[in-house]
Amino acid sequence: MSENDYEEVSSVATEPSPDVYRRRRLLALAALLLVLLLLIWGIVAMVRAMSGNNNENDAATVATASSSAEPFSDFSERPSESASSSASASASASENSSASASESSDPSASATDIAAASESATPSAEPSETATPAPEETTPAVATACTAQNLNVTLSADQKTYAAGQNPALAVTYTNTAGDPCLVGGEAPQVDINITSGPAQVFNLAQCQKESTPEAELAAGATETKVITWDRKLNALGCGTNQTIKPGYYWATATVNGVASEPTRIVVTG
């Protein structure tokens, strides 16, 4: 074999084939991709680590803020009433003790001043005398005769109609309407009843009673009632007659101290 043949054989053996170049390129690309993937993974890991640290810091900050934001945590505790009262009592006791000490240590306070202070502080045992007004003497009012200004007179019959044998019972009621007492009776009869039939006079109670009635005091607001029974006698012609009335309509009026009542009708049927 010649040298040229050797060189040709060696050159042919050392030159890579296209498959080798292809494989090398694929390996290089795979390595490049691997490097890129590792780089991307590293960047992602760093970002996650940084974001995790930030979240932990934020959570810690929030926890710290929430723990420090308790209601009224920055206020001092309010003293209780017992503590306040004890403090005020101790303060007053200290003031009293300091005042007592200052008084005892004050040499200028004399016995005369102390005695004068004790006398002014002691209340006087003698009560003040107040002048009691003397009661006013009142003169009692003198009662006078009752008049139409202070006397009200009414007359009523016990029935509306009277049959044969029934005598009308007439009730005379009089009331003192004033605030002072007044007198009823005296020279005139206390109670008088006058009965008419139309214009004709039939009966008069005072006509046959010549004697006067003693005065009687009627208190303020008091009421008296007198019941007088009419025996149906007709005394218009005289007090000694025994003549009786006939059936018909009659009107009766009562008078007390000259004060007359409203007329009351009496119906006699038999």
3-state secondary structure the chain: CCHHHHHHHHHHHHCCCHHHHHHHHHHHHHHHHHHHHHHHHHHHHHHHHHHHHHHHHHHHHHHHHHHHCCCCCCCCCCCCHHHHHHHHHHHHHHHHHHHHHHHHHCCCCCHHHHHHHHHHHCCCCCCCCCCCCCCCCCCCCCCEECCCCCEEEEEEECCCEECCCCCCEEEEEEEECCCCCEEEEECCCCEEEEEEECCEEEEECHHHCCCCEEEEEECCCCEEEEEEECCCECCCCCCCCCCECCCEEEEEEEEECCEECCCEEEEECC
pLDDT in tens, 216-261: 999 999 999 999 999 999 988 888 888 899 999 999 999 999 999 9
Q: What is the pLDDT of residue 11?
A: 47
For the entire predicted model, the pTM comes to 0.49
Q: What is the pLDDT of residue 107?
A: 43
Q: What is the pLDDT of residue 168?
A: 97
Q: What is the pLDDT of residue 7?
A: 47
Q: What is the pLDDT of residue 9?
A: 44
pLDDT in tens, 140-174: 668 899 999 999 999 999 999 999 999 999 999 99
pLDDT in tens, 175-223: 999 999 999 987 766 899 999 999 999 999 988 877 677 889 999 999 9
In this prediction, residue 133 has a pLDDT band, given cuts at 50, 70 and 90, of confident
Task: Tell the burial category of 34 from Cβ atoms under 10 Å away from its Cβ (0-12, 13-18, 19+).
Answer: exposed
Q: What is the pLDDT of residue 108?
A: 45
Pairing of strands 223-229, 169-176: antiparallel
Phi, psi (deg, nearest 5) at residue 4? -65, -40
For residue 121, pLDDT over 70 is answered with: no
Most confident of 28-37, 68-77, 90-99, 136-145: 28-37
Q: What is the pLDDT of residue 264?
A: 97
pLDDT in tens, 53-90: 666 666 555 445 444 445 545 545 555 555 445 545 55
